[in-house]
Amino acid sequence: MISFNHPLMLLLILFFFLFLILKKSGLVAIPELKLNLVNWKGFFPKKNKLMEFGNFLCYFFWYCGIIFLIIALSEPIVFKNKQVYTDAGSSIMFLLDISPSMAAKDMNGETRIAAAKKIIRKFVAKYPGDSFGLTALSSSAALILPPTIDHKVFLSRLDSLSIGELGDGTAIGMGLAVSSAYMTRTKLNSSYIVLLTDGENNTGEINPKTAAEVLVNKNIGFYVIGIGSSGYTTLEYTDRKTGKTYSGSIFSKFDEVELKKIAQYGNGKYASASSPEILENIFNTISKQVPAAQSNFTRIIEENLYVYFLSASIFSFVLVWLLRRIFMRVYL
């Protein structure tokens, strides 16, 4: 709903059009002003159709600029409803494998990482009042984003993740250590780590068993999801650092036994997803076990649209100047 802080200013629009009508009828005259943007004797000489069209555009955008300026002076505002959550909610850290094997296209034609990102987006949408964080792992691990209530930032960081940024190994132990190191410092009601990977731990200085046991001591919920299946599959990805594209057929080694052990070490749960449908079912199950923030109220906030109309007004005046001085090569 749009309102105005100074609605009487809108009457200037009526006066402006009334002035144009009186001017056209010859009842009023405008004093000549020596300004670069104003020439009420005509913008262009009517030599040809192109000049006439340019003349029309100049008048049109000039009038639009004046109208936008008047609207800006009236200070238009729009009221929006915003859900405000009063309890802390859950803190959920996604630990996502970005090793090259996650580019395997065995998820109904999608890559494993694309399927993972898609289902994470759906899951986040179900928890508007909860915090989400992101850690990436490959041959090393890095905290991409600590848990935040700003879901737009989270999803932006999620989309920006690309295959091969952290090497070509799978350091699950390091990934768990990085994730749990931050999660233990949070003061939220409940904390969870969701690991999505397709490989076995084959690098890193930290043993997955040691890292997973820390989760038990800190009372952090733990889910391990294995993506993909063992066997030959196609792979294709572009290394952002070098710009080189890799493609071909690889033998995917999916160590489900090891992933189950890691889940047990962390007193967590393991599930395997060989298709997007199964992956979605797994996340539906998780959503039943992870409570969403419930206590909330609706706050009405107002957004001032002044700057948008002022920008449109300035843009219109600049466009008139460009038409007169550059494109039409007319100088006052």
| Cα–Cα distance, 163 to 198 (Å, whole number) | 13
Residue pair 124/181 in contact (Cβ under 8 Å)? The answer is no
Low-confidence ranges of the chain (pLDDT < 70): 1, 27-48, 82-88, 184-189, 200-202, 293-299, 326-332
Buried b / exposed e over 245-261, threshold 16 CB at 10 Å, is eeeeeeebebbeebbbb
CA angle 32, 326, 13 (to 5 degrees): 45
Q: What single letter denotes the amino acid at residue 95?
A: L
Cα–Cα distance measured from residue 149 to residue 266, given in angstroms and rounded to the nearest whole number = 26
Q: What's the number of CA atoms in the CB half-sphere (13 Å) around residue 200?
A: 10
Residue type, 65: G
Contact between residue 164 and residue 98 where contact means Cβ atoms under 8 Å apart: yes
Flag whether the pTM goes above 0.85: no
Write the CA distances from 23 to 17, 19, 64, integer angstroms. Answer: 10, 6, 18
Residue-by-residue DSSP string for 295-312? -EEEEEEEEE-HHHHHHH
pLDDT of 29-76, one tens digit each? Answer: 655 544 454 444 444 455 567 777 777 888 889 999 999 999 999 988
Query: Which stretches does DSSP call E strand in the chain?
Result: 2-4, 76-85, 90-97, 131-137, 141-148, 190-197, 221-227, 231-238, 245-252, 269-273, 296-304
Distance (Å, whole) CA 324 – CA 315? 14
Q: What are phi and psi of 126, to 5 degrees?
A: -80, -10
Enter the tokens of residue 295. Answer: 């206590």
pLDDT of residue 88: 62
Residue 159: closest CA among 134, 184, 141, 177: 134
Beta strand pairing call for 2-4 and 245-252: unpaired
- Cα separation of 40 and 59, whole Å? 10
DSSP 4-69: ESSGGGGHHHHHHHHHHHHHHHTS-------BTTB-TT-SS--SSHHHHHHHHHHHHHHHHHHHHH
Report the Cα–Cα distance between both ends of the chain, in Å, rounded. Answer: 44
User: So where are the chain's domains?
Assistant: 2-79+305-327, 87-294
Q: Which phi and psi (to 5°) does residue 80 adopt?
A: -130, 150
> What CA–CA distance (Å, rounded) separates 116 from 26?
70
What per-residue confidence (pLDDT) applies to 327?
64
Q: Max CA-CA distance within the chain?
A: 92
Helix (H, G, I), strand (E, B) or coil at 86: coil
For the chain, the residue count is 332
- Which pLDDT score is estimated for 40? 43
**CATH code that applies to domain 87-294:** 3.40.50.410
CA distances from 42 to 15, 71, 96, 116, 332 (A): 21, 26, 64, 62, 11
